[in-house]
Structure 1
Amino acid sequence: MRRCWLALGITVLVTILLAASVWPVLAAQQQRITVTEYFVTAQGKIEKHAVRVPCPPRRVVVLGAYPVEMVKALGVDKAVVGVDDYTKKNTQWPEYVLKVPDVGSSSTPSVEKIIALKPDLVIEAFMKPEVRSQLVRAGIPVIRIYGYKTELIPGEIRTLGVIFNCQNRANAYAAYIQKQWRTVQERTKKLSSRQKVKVYWESSLGDWKTNGPGSGAHPLIEWAGGINIAAGLGVAYPVVSPEWVAAKNPDVIIKYVGREQAGWTVNDTKKMEDLRRQIMSRPSLKNTNAVKHGRVYLISDLITCAPQGAAGEYYIARWLHPELFRDVNPEAVRREMLKKFYGEELKGVWVYPTK
């Protein structure tokens, strides 16, 4: 009996000693660090905020298709315990989003559902300030990662690299994106103002809602050698009139399309063909240079104002200045990017016309 008690005592002592040695290691692995997050105002101004987050987080809720994609590319998606409902039900990519619960919309998620998942970090792109405040009061750190504000994307990727302690991967991912953007800018930098084309880029959220400074589309237009006709309005997402667009007479019209018209699960271009015909038949657009010369294009936001905009920008550049980008195959660049950083093959329909 004494031997049994002695053995039990030794077992308990060893367990205590092991716990004492393991928990400091775990605590050291998840220190709190201060990083910078960015907020973009309605006027397109960038504000910087300091935020304290765990490093690396072990349980993360990610809200928004763009930060969800970044997390996948960084190889830390196993930490994700919840996503927004739109990404899970409509975007349905990357595949890991189908295996975790949704917590509601990206702007007004369920605070109760998030708390129940016990995350040590929430990554968001659109969350309402009052919802964010509730989470912070509950002791859950929150950081904003847009993933669709073009100029911020490389910095946001590197911030996630610091948070998840995968800086090498993050630096390679961000550098790849920047390399593609530099290639486009190098080819268009010598264009004169007369050689640049006027662009009207319409949102998928409604007719006549366009993209001004502060939107993800604005720099893509300028880098590709275009002139954004909404540049002088001073609002990131202005709503304009048909008459206003007609008076500006754009040379190129680009329209964002939603997940029901383009994406991973879409297999044909019929819906985009119909939408393009509708746009070109609008009375106010019939006499624009864009419609008269058939320069009306449709594209998914997931490959433009997004990390994969590294490939999508080549579509924009070819549409604006085909003579400068005849040798570039945007689809090939995207295939390379998907394989290199996501471990996936390209599928679905993303642009129309496709050439």
Structure 2
Amino acid sequence: MKKKICFLMIFVLLMSLLPAFGLANPVKPEDSKQKQQTENKQEKIIVKEQLLDEKGQIIEDEVSILAPPKKVVVLGCYGAEMLKAIGVENTVIAVDDYTKEKNGWPDFVKNIPSVGASNTPSIEKIIELKPDLVIEGFLDPKLKTQLLNCGIPVLKIYGYRTELITSEIETLGKVFKCQTRAHEYANYIEKQWQAIRDRTKGLTEKDKPKVYWESGLGDWKTQSYGSGAHSLIEWAGGINIAADQKLSYPTVTPEWVASKNPDVIIKYVDAPITGWNGDIKKLEEIRQQILNRPALKNTNAVKNGRVYLVSSKITCAPQGAAGEWYIAKWLHPELFKDVNPQSIHKEMLKKFYGQEYKGVWVYPVQ
């Protein structure tokens, strides 16, 4: 009798331990599949997109999206770059011509079709692809209306407005249900900017060099208050000589720039002259052309050789946090003498894009 009782006690004890080892209720393949389906289940969500009005002021709108989207058309290289960084590039089924052919990065864009120009894509091609979402930065408003009328949601992601970049990344994290990765990415960018601002916040106006920032869109095209470049100049401890211009992206005269006598000239240059396959010879030609402009010959910037070229992809862009370190060091070499901007850029590329550093991103090369 005692043996039977002892046996029963052991049996009960063993049965009580089965759940701990996952043996009482083993996970069936169909249960695991059902869990995966639940995680990937799409649902309607409302997200706020940030838009800029004619005065450059930020306004908000609401967009209803089936999240997470499984088929996405991206019109704009910065949107594609952000999706790569948060790990959802596999959802992109098409991009625009510039992103695929001229920019050609991230690498995944080379293997998917294009639907035309980013501002005037083929609406017919987009509709044929039946996307869950279109992400755009430059789309013609009339074409956007056509997509909306076809039931295709459209989300504005500028990617080049410095003050909006981190919030746009967080929005994408919500849309694609990858908030943790998106927050890590946005937080990394903000920490870089803040580290620079912490160093320059004690500068007096006398300590700040005057900066002429020239667009890659043409000679004498600059950026004023409300532009992404203006924020970068201020955070790096400089004074934007075009800050008071009425337009965000004005064209100024040579005489006007000369009268402002900038201490530093920065011109951003687009791909493929800068970037992964940068052309040093061409960059030297561009810099020399600036140095040789008659209107600039007596400026402090030219006399002291403080003329720099930088890739547009590391300025007013998702990688702008890396480019800002270069700018800060150009403006205040002593204040940032312990900083190696290239090493920070390398870290960012490896951490968020899985990419090794290569190419020419600034000139003169540091």
Q: What SS is found at the alignment partner of 2:244?
A: helix
Q: Label 1:27 to 1:332 Cα distance change in 2 as closer, same or farther (>3 A).
A: closer
Q: Which of the numbers 277, 287, 308 marks the counterpart of 1:265?
A: 277
Q: What SS is found at the alignment partner of 2:212?
A: strand
Partner of 1:114: 126
Partner of 1:6: none
Deviation at 1:107, TM superposition (A): 0.8
Matches within 5 A, 1:4-43: 29-43=41-55
Partner of 2:317: 306
Q: Which of the numbers 334, 337, 342 marks the counterpart of 2:345?
A: 334
Partner of 1:8: none
Partner of 1:229: 241
Answering whether residue 45 of structure 2 is matched by residue 67 of structure 1, we say no
The amino acid that maps onto 2:51 is F
Q: Which of the numbers 336, 358, 362 marks the counterpart of 1:351?
A: 362
Deviation at 1:43, TM superposition (A): 2.8
Partner of 1:217: 229
Q: Label 1:301 to 1:42 Cα distance change in 2 as closer, same or farther (>3 A).
A: farther
Partner of 1:5: none
Q: What SS is found at the alignment partner of 1:230?
A: coil
Answering whether residue 264 of structure 2 is matched by residue 252 of structure 1, we say yes
The amino acid that maps onto 2:112 is V
**What 5-or-longer segments of structure 1 have no aligned partner?**
1-17
Root mean square deviation of aligned Cα: 1.7
Matches within 5 A, 1:89-128: 89-128=101-140
The amino acid that maps onto 2:201 is K
Deviation at 1:264, TM superposition (A): 1.3
CA distance in 2, matches of 1:54, 1:212: 38
> Which is worse superposed, 38-47 or 109-118?
38-47
Deviation at 1:42, TM superposition (A): 4.1
The amino acid that maps onto 2:123 is V
Q: Is the 8 A contact 1:42 1:235 kept in 2?
A: no
Deviation at 1:26, TM superposition (A): 6.7
Q: Is the 8 A contact 2:349 2:356 kept in 1?
A: yes
CA distance in 1, matches of 2:80, 2:272: 19
The amino acid that maps onto 1:337 is M
Deviation at 1:234, TM superposition (A): 2.9
The amino acid that maps onto 2:131 is P
Matches within 5 A, 1:288-303: 288-303=299-314
Q: Which has the higher contact order (CA 8 A, sep 6+)?
A: 1
Q: Label 1:27 to 1:346 Cα distance change in 2 as closer, same or farther (>3 A).
A: closer
Larger Cα-atom Rg: 2
Q: What SS is found at the alignment partner of 1:264?
A: coil
Deviation at 1:28, TM superposition (A): 7.8
Q: Which of the numbers 166, 173, 196 marks the counterpart of 2:208?
A: 196
Q: Which of the numbers 140, 144, 156 marks the counterpart of 1:132?
A: 144
Deviation at 1:87, TM superposition (A): 0.8
Matches within 5 A, 1:36-51: 36-51=48-63
Q: What SS is found at the alignment partner of 2:282?
A: helix
Deviation at 1:261, TM superposition (A): 1.3
Map Cα deviations across residues 87-137 of structure 1 (whole Å, 9 max, x no partner).
Answer: 100111001000110011111111011111110100001111011001101
TM-score by length of structure 1 reads 0.91
Q: Is the 8 A contact 1:253 1:290 kept in 2?
A: yes
CA distance in 2, matches of 1:53, 1:349: 39
CA distance in 2, matches of 1:151, 1:89: 28
CA distance in 1, matches of 2:188, 2:40: 32
Q: Which of the numbers 130, 147, 152 marks the counterpart of 2:159?
A: 147
The amino acid that maps onto 1:238 is P
The amino acid that maps onto 1:201 is W
CA distance in 1, matches of 2:147, 2:215: 31
Partner of 1:7: none
Answering whether residue 78 of structure 2 is matched by residue 57 of structure 1, we say no
Q: Is the 8 A contact 2:40 2:68 kept in 1?
A: no
Q: Is the 8 A contact 2:103 2:272 kept in 1?
A: no
Partner of 2:7: none
The amino acid that maps onto 2:352 is F
Map Cα deviations across residues 283-318 of structure 1 (whole Å, 9 max, x no partner).
Answer: 111111110110000001101111111111000000
The amino acid that maps onto 2:58 is I
CA distance in 2, matches of 1:235, 1:117: 38
Q: What percentage of aligned pairs have identical amino acids?
A: 60
Deviation at 1:263, TM superposition (A): 1.5
Deviation at 1:82, TM superposition (A): 0.3
Q: Which structure 1 residue ranges, 4+ long, deviate > 4 Å from structure 2?
A: 25-28
Deviation at 1:258, TM superposition (A): 1.8
Partner of 1:280: 291
TM-score by length of structure 2 reads 0.89
- Report the count of equivalent residues: 335
